[in-house]
Amino acid sequence: MHENEIGTLIVEEKVIVELKSVEKVQPAHKKQVLTYLCLTGMKLGSNRSRGRGLAYFPGEFARGASSCQEIVQRGS
């Protein structure tokens, strides 16, 4: 685990919540959550950083994609 990472929660096998200890969520954090979503098949993920959260829905990036890598690249 990196020093700015608090942990990752999986809620009822439906939602991934990535907890960070940073001032601002960065594009790399979004890619991390999108990768988790793609690999698990879950539909909803969120980055939480000091009370601020951003939700990502992989469906919006997945249209026409042939691989997880392509989905993650589109989400950056």
Q: Which of 69, 65, 75, 10 is nearest to 39 (CA)?
A: 69
Looking at residue 35, what is its pLDDT?
Answer: 87
Task: Give the helix/strand (H/E) hosting 31.
Answer: helix 27-40
How many domains is the chain built from? 1
Per the structure, the complete domain to which residue 65 belongs is given by: 5-74
Q: For the whole model, what pTM was predicted?
A: 0.71
Three-state DSSP at 43 gives coil
More confident site: 1 or 34:
34
Of residues 2 and 53, more confidently modeled: 53
Tokens linked to 5: 């990472």
Three-state DSSP class for residue 45: strand
